[in-house]
Chain A
Amino acid sequence: MTADTRALYQEVILDHNRKPRNYGVLDHASHHAEGLNPLCGDHIDVALAMAGDRVEAIAFHGESCAICKASASMMTMAVKGKRRDDAQALAREFVDMACGRLDVKDAQHIGRLAVFSGISELPMRVKCAILPWHTLQAAFNAVATTSTEADDDPMHAPMGDA
């Protein structure tokens, strides 16, 4: 295994894949979106319960690879309790890091999510990591369905397709 991949498939990611946190559906969601990755057919559903501009509760479920599931799981932990502006700033930073536009050393909010920095070295997998964040933004913006292929989405990462 190369260093990049070893760095990616490390224990914290494998653990979140095995035991995803905040996995399931929310009874009283105020915001919700489904994210699709047509490259592999993966989809995840992100639901939010907002209290004012604060994320009171968040949950996700769906069918996805380990990278996507761990990213979603760690996203829910990072976002829960945050104000919407802060959550969206984190989402932008995560996507910039995953796409290789932001060096992890220069990140302000990334924290433990730095374990995903190696994904930028695997361009075919970047979409897997950013799908949950993409879907989170769509939920905030009340867009019911988003896709990693949505050209009008500011988080679109141009990438090879199936």
Chain B
Amino acid sequence: MTAVQPAIGPQTSATTQPFDVERIRADFPILELRVGGRPLVYLDNAASSQMPRPVIDRLLRYQTSEHANIHRAVHFLSEAATTAYEGARAKLRRFINAREEREVILTSGTTEGINLVMHGWGRKFISAGDEIILTVLEHHSNIVPWQMLAAEKGATIRVVPIDDAGELRVDAYEALFNERTRFVALGHVSNALGTVNPVRQMIEFAHARGVAVLVDGAQAAPHMAVDVQALDCDFYAFSGHKMCGPTGIGVLYGRAALLEQMQPFKGGGDMIHTVSFEGTTYNTIPHKFEAGTPPIAAAIGLGAAVDYLSVVGLPAIAAHEHDLLRNATEQLGALPGVRIIGSARDKAAVLSFVVQGIHPHDVGTLLNQEGVAVRTGHHCAQPLMKRLGVAATSRASFAFYNTHAEVDALVAGIRSVQKVFS
């Protein structure tokens, strides 16, 4: 059979040379779009990022020459698809530095990964009176599954507060631990404020008390090198579509020893060893957690996306995004009537703000007229909005293909919004 080619060949413009944002932008066809007659300024990357040509090409190649169902038949295409799918798992293992490929479960996204841990681990090991620690920064997807579990089991949710800068109160976190604490679920990076949490330190504290930790890495994986061994987390969940990959695919890393103990989340084909009406035995990990035909193309596309990110280089990505964030923070901070929400010392490329007297929805609609795409609303973090005393914010979130000229366009756009309302 033909070998599966690496997604990034010499034809790609992404290099490990000094950061050249224009060459990178040339890899992203969608960035050539015009919106309402103006160049698209895409600053909604925390919601979903755009896809570079090598990933699009990889999807096309899979669909035109490699597609069949995986782990099934002995024919050529099934073998090609299986090799490419498992090849993607291998790339993802390297990307997060997991020990073994069987610790990398392919999911539909972060939400499914968290729900998998809730059902597979939580429903087996959490019981009445147990306590689960979350933080007020969490996205709804890392709150609601635990509330469902707590309601089912009679467990209690404890919430780590933040200070006014939007940083977790680590002292308060440590004070929440007691003999009933069983689990911690916390975000690596806040989707609403960009706060980078001291997860390594928090995991160490939990482990010293025998408590397992899940990290929601949806906002971290696209922006910084993630090393699950260095973090020493028990679970780490993230999504493909926020890191230049397709929608409908994500990863749940789990420590093998924990995954072995867990019950399956979904029943069906591929997750079994043998099935009979007298009893069914389950497949080994990771397949035990991958019932049914997975999104094969999306998984292979995500493999190509992490290849792409690795060639550009996560350190270079983080450095460029920090430059953009610093510039945007300075410029927005100097605009009269604009208040930045979240001033943590360590932030990823997210800038939440409110414009005095103008609702974020109106800001978003009017910015759209300037070609500038931002997210407005509660960012699926209603408890956080309540804590901050705002109903909603506008959020600009940057990717490595954004430019300083686009920061200028955002600033000019906000000025023109203010002019409409003046």
B377 and A66: CB pair below 8 A?
no
Which of B36, B361, B378, B420 is within 8 Å of A14, CB to CB? B420
The segment out of B48-56, B64-72, B224-232, B362-370 that lies at the interface is B362-370
| A52 interface contact, C-beta 8 A | no
The range of chain B's interface size is: 20 to 34
* CB-CB under 8 A for A41 and B362, given A2-B36, A5-B369, A14-B421: no
Which of B358, B359, B365 is within 8 Å of A5, CB to CB? B365
Which of B361, B369, B380 is within 8 Å of A2, CB to CB? B369
A-facing residues in B145-190 (Cβ within 8 Å)? none
| B239 interface contact, C-beta 8 A | no
Chain A residues closer than 8 Å to B392, beta-carbon distance: 40-42
B365 and A122: CB pair below 8 A?
yes
| A67 interface contact, C-beta 8 A | yes
A125 and B365: CB pair below 8 A?
yes
A41 and B376: CB pair below 8 A?
no
A-facing residues in B362-396 (Cβ within 8 Å)? 362, 365-366, 369, 376-378, 380, 382, 385, 391-392
A67 and B420: CB pair below 8 A?
no
**Most chain B CB neighbours (cut-off 10 Å) among A9, A67, A122:** A9
| A63 interface contact, C-beta 8 A | yes
Cα A64 to Cα B420 in complex, Å, equals 18
**Most chain A CB neighbours (cut-off 10 Å) among B359, B366, B421:** B359
Cα A63 to Cα B376 in complex, Å, equals 15
A125 and B391: CB pair below 8 A?
no
In angstroms, how far is the closest chain A Cβ from the Cβ of B387?
Answer: 13
B385 and A41: CB pair below 8 A?
yes
B-facing residues in A12-67 (Cβ within 8 Å)? 14, 17, 39-42, 63-67
| B360 interface contact, C-beta 8 A | yes
Q: Can you give 12 contacting A-B residue pairs, CB < 8 Å?
A: A2-B37, A2-B369, A5-B369, A9-B362, A9-B366, A9-B420, A40-B361, A40-B392, A41-B392, A42-B391, A65-B360, A124-B365
Which of B36, B37, B378, B420 is within 8 Å of A41, CB to CB? B378
B377 and A65: CB pair below 8 A?
no
The range of chain A's interface size is: 20 to 34
Chain B residues closer than 8 Å to A125, beta-carbon distance: 361, 365
Chain A residues closer than 8 Å to B365, beta-carbon distance: 5, 122, 124-125
B360 and A162: CB pair below 8 A?
no
* CB-CB under 8 A for A40 and B391, given A14-B421, A125-B361: yes
Cα A124 to Cα B374 in complex, Å, equals 14
Chain B residues closer than 8 Å to A67, beta-carbon distance: 361-362
Chain A residues closer than 8 Å to B369, beta-carbon distance: 1-2, 5
Chain B residues closer than 8 Å to A42, beta-carbon distance: 359, 361, 391-392
| A75 interface contact, C-beta 8 A | no
Nearest-CB residue, chain B, relative to A43: B391
Nearest-CB residue, chain B, relative to A1: B369
Which of A2, A63, A66, A124 is within 8 Å of B362, CB to CB? A66
B359 and A39: CB pair below 8 A?
no
In angstroms, how far is the closest chain B Cβ from the Cβ of A162?
Answer: 6
B358 and A66: CB pair below 8 A?
yes
Chain A residues closer than 8 Å to B37, beta-carbon distance: 2
A-facing residues in B71-127 (Cβ within 8 Å)? none
In angstroms, how far is the closest chain B Cβ from the Cβ of A4?
Answer: 9
In angstroms, how far is the closest chain B Cβ from the Cβ of A38?
Answer: 9
In angstroms, how far is the closest chain A Cβ from the Cβ of B412?
Answer: 13
| A87 interface contact, C-beta 8 A | no
B361 and A63: CB pair below 8 A?
no
| A128 interface contact, C-beta 8 A | yes
B interface footprint on A65-100 (CB within 8 Å = 1, 0 otherwise): 111000000000000000000000000000000000
Cα A66 to Cα B111 in complex, Å, equals 33
Cα A136 to Cα B56 in complex, Å, equals 48
